[in-house]
Amino acid sequence: MKKGYYLHFQGRQSIGVSKKIDMQMEEFDKYYDMQEIEIGTPRRTLLQRIAGLFPTASITRDYEGALAQLDHPDFVYVRRAVADRDYVRFWKKIKQLYPSCKIIIEVFSYPYDGDDFGKWNAWPFYIKERIYRPQLKKYVDRFVTFTADREIFGIPAISTYNGVNVEKIRKIGGAFTEGQIHLIGVAFMQRHHGYERIIEGLHQYYSADSGREYEVHLHLVGDGPEKPFYQELAGRYKLETYVHFYPTMVGEQLDELYDRCDIALVSFGMYKARFYGKMGALKSRECLAKGMPLLTGCEIDVLPEDYPYALVFPNDASTVNTEDIVAFYQKIKNMEADKGRLADTIRQFAREHVSMEAVMKPIMDYIGR
């Protein structure tokens, strides 16, 4: 059995990153003798912090402690960190000690210069990156990317997707409600969620004089800076009967609410972040794993254009037409009238495309068994 190490730079400090590390490690453990190594940053004085900002200085990290834990690795899998002199020297040292070791670095967002170094106080780290990352191609064997790029910074790239542990996500239950459609959005509500487009559409829907075949309800779960805006908008339009707000929910309580709902919302405001590509948000994977049809204001990377259980709206500020949602719901019910069987169909798609087994396969194919 091959020996592998999962290296990260204090990734456990983030709940989301920690969850992803756990899922990846669980998949690696099926085929390799794995060990996780966290490369920490020792406490530094103010003077050391200031000195570390100079272009040729390095961020203080415990590389020696990490090297001491390596024992003839066949590969190391790494979550990318800012490149500087010592970062490059670390990979060089591994290659010197273990020439056959494959060094694989996950670039969890790409291109990342704008996101990581867009603020003025990040420029010292950007300068380090520009100086040192061209040297990575001497030592790094592959990048892993969640884009279609085949090469990054002169290094071959393995293209894959964000994934989830499908079997650990509970399938939705319940049945379709006659004469009603229930939409659900679960998020820490920020600008890029863009749920105001849905609320505006409901306002137009309920303001129209024509008869309505369905009551359409919107359930928004979670907190966040945009929540007061959504609440104010729903109140202004007197939609309290149809737009329902909940605090952060987890576990059985959240599962029960999902069971009452028919269609899940992803993001409708990615244009605000000037993002016009295909989105790989984990929320889309989680909803597919639950077996839910999707509404989104941005294309989703794993879905083919003709995927029948997702409705994609323009990635702009336009109002989401509720009549389009009604027509989408009717089309789904015509294809499969049983909510449980519909969920099974969508969930099978998730197994084949966004399960950890599926998304890690290209990486493991490169490593070999």
Quote the pLDDT of residue 282: 86
Q: Which residues contact 65 (CB under 8 A, 6 or more apart)?
A: 39, 40
pLDDT tops 80 at residue 196: yes
pLDDT of the residue at 307: 97
pLDDT score, position 264: 98
Q: Quick one: which of 366, 362, 361 has its CA closest to 30?
A: 361
Strand partners, 37: 7
Count of other CB atoms within 10 angstroms of residue 346: 24
* The token pair that represents 330 in the structure block: 């009717």
- Does the predicted TM-score (pTM) go above 0.95? no
Residue (of 3, 187, 54, 28) closest to 106 by Cα position: 28
Query: What is each CA distance from 126 to 53, 113, 118, 146, 166, in whole angstroms?
Result: 10, 8, 9, 22, 37
Tell me what the mean pLDDT of segment 79-92 comes to.
94
Say what percent of the chain tops pLDDT 90.
Answer: 79
Give the model's pLDDT for residue 126: 86
Structure token pair of residue 51 = 């000195």
User: What share of the chain has pLDDT > 70, as a percent?
Assistant: 100
Q: What is the mean pLDDT of residues 21-49?
A: 89
Residue 243's pLDDT is what?
98
**Mean pLDDT across 236-256:** 95
- DSSP letter at 151 equals E
131: Cβ–Cβ under 8 A, 6 or more apart, which residues?
Answer: 55, 56
Task: Please report the pLDDT score of residue 53 as a whole number.
Answer: 75
pLDDT, tens digit (0-9, with 9 covering 90-100), for 230-239 = 999 999 999 9
Separation in Å, CA 168 to CA 248, 251, 290: 20, 12, 10
Task: Assign 41 a pLDDT band (cuts: 50, 70, 90).
Answer: confident
Q: Provide the pLDDT for residue 121.
A: 81
What does the pLDDT look like over 9-30, one tens digit per residue? 988 887 778 888 999 999 999 9
pLDDT at 50 over 80: no
How much is the pLDDT for 334? Answer: 94
ω before 111 within 30° of 0 (cis)? yes
Q: What is the pLDDT of residues 120-175, one digit of tens each?
A: 788 888 898 899 999 999 999 999 998 888 999 999 999 999 899 999 999 999 99
* Alpha carbons 253 and 21: distance in angstroms, whole number: 26
Q: Provide the pLDDT for residue 33.
A: 97
pLDDT per residue over 145-158, tens digit each? 988 889 999 999 99
CA atoms 80, 81, 84, 85: torsion sign? negative
Q: How confident is the model at residue 3 (pLDDT cuts 50, 70, 90)?
A: very high
Q: What's 54's DSSP letter?
A: S
Q: What span, in angstroms and rounded, lies between the C-alpha atoms of 284 and 294? A: 8
Reported confidence tier of residue 224, pLDDT bands at 50, 70, 90:
very high
* Alpha carbons 73 and 174: distance in angstroms, whole number: 49
pLDDT at 190 over 80: yes
CB proximity list for 129: less than 8 A, separation 6 or greater = 82, 83, 84, 113, 117
What confidence score (pLDDT) does residue 274 get?
A: 85
Domains of the chain: 3-163+356-367 (3.40.50), 168-353 (3.40.50.2000)
pLDDT in tens, 304-355: 999 999 999 999 999 999 999 999 999 999 999 999 999 999 999 999 999 9
**pLDDT per residue as tens digits for the range 62-73:** 999 999 999 999
DSSP 3-state assignment of 263?
A: strand
Residues paired with residue 144 on neighbouring β-strands, in sequence order: 106, 158
